[in-house]
Structure 1
């Protein structure tokens, strides 16, 4: 918000979470050095193939829809031409001073000391890699991540990382790198089961009121419990659970 008001481009954020529930605040937030120029999304349907003896074709039976995959290229540069990325604790929310600092860095001339030694990007790339795919000895898992960029959001885990170094100092140490990352979307078992079960009380349902429909009975059929109809009435701003009009659309929110 602050950056938008000051005309600074919002950078992509990668939040690193301690568990698969995504309930606790993130441990760290990576703010990338440069926004990716593009990204590739992949959606995959898996079939079971069966072919009868003596036939030339196969019968495809639906098996599953795999989680979304997305690939980004991240750039690291320590030459001083581009302001550095950031790694912050928690959600990494930008303050007014952060935004002012970004403006100052953007306006600062890129002057490189010809007698100085340019820092390498090895440390930044290694820290980035450890946050995204470092193994946690307590949970016996790699990191749970959330990608945030504009309106795009994906809860995911890192599937693969390719590191390409493209510019070097005289001693052969890299000062520029392109890191290609493929992330695979993930959901908790509870949410996955809820999505696959169309009548699950963990999903929001909509019903169009028909003749002889009763809010209490509809609530009981969805929640498998006869005590939520008052909450449904309040959620739909009804004056009374008995005053439901024919053809009215009623939403039944998930149980929290």
Structure 2
């Protein structure tokens, strides 16, 4: 690392907030020790299956777009090999274990008063850059990614004589979390027959949400299947659900 870059290198940063709007000061922050060399960003569309017996195959109508998924490897190193002497003189380098604890506290652990992990904002670069520039024209329209941690796999690769980890790689997967109104505006859709997104609040049930959106609770099992719900009777507050369009004729 060149000395001239010590004060200009922008690090990938993850901030954790207690509210979905990500307002105020973050409750937790994790800054990458080293910026990732690569990352993957997936975009997925879901299409409705063909209905009707004996119908021929054709173009399936678009149903909704899944939230973007970001997969990134974060390297943690406790050997201090990548640092210059002047850095070691003026600041303490956190251990690998300390960095892992900071990541899990910010991204994964359940916070008592909100009963779920923090809402995350992931940034990397200035306002004109960040993920919007790195991902190209098909990337996020915002310079930061509002997301939640889906999973992290910690791969330990080296240990000290006392067993303390000296090197580890975090393979983290983040799921984009967009405001439903902004999502609808981005997809230029407002018709009640197009997909809707709802963030679950305490007291919500799937039949009640289906009644609100479709005018009937009849589709709750199909909505549960679309969202991969194993237990539709117990919805978690803060969970985002997708309500795809269904044929009016099939509403009960």
Shorter-chain TM-score tier = 0.5 to 0.7
Question: Which structure shows the higher strand fraction?
Answer: 1
Shift of 1:65: 0.6
Residue 159 of structure 2: which of 151, 165, 168 is its match?
Answer: 168
Q: Judge conservation of contact 1:49–1:58 (CA < 8 Å) in 2.
A: no
Q: Judge conservation of contact 1:4–1:10 (CA < 8 Å) in 2.
A: no
Shift of 1:190: 3.8
1:161-192 per-position Cα deviation (integer Å, ceiling 9, x unaligned): 11101111234432100001111111223433
Structure 2: any 5+ residue segments left out of the alignment?
A: 131-143, 191-252
Residue 121 of structure 2: which of 123, 138, 146 is its match?
Answer: 146
Question: 2:31 is matched with which residue?
Answer: 31
Q: Mark the CA change 1:7 to 1:137 in structure 2 (over 3 Å): closer, same or farther.
A: closer
Q: Judge conservation of contact 2:30–2:102 (CA < 8 Å) in 1.
A: no
Question: 2:198 is matched with which residue?
Answer: none
* TM-score of the aligned structures, taking structure 1 as reference length: 0.57
Structure 1 distance, partners of 2:36, 2:172, is 11
Question: 2:202 is matched with which residue?
Answer: none
Question: 1:48 is matched with which residue?
Answer: 48
Let me know the Cα RMSD of the aligned residues: 3.2
Q: Judge conservation of contact 2:14–2:31 (CA < 8 Å) in 1.
A: yes
Shift of 1:71: 1.1
Structure 1 distance, partners of 2:58, 2:4, is 54
3-state secondary structure, aligned to 2:34: coil
Structure 1: any 5+ residue segments left out of the alignment?
A: 84-101, 109-118, 200-256
Shift of 1:123: 3.1
| Number of residue pairs the alignment of both structures matches | 170
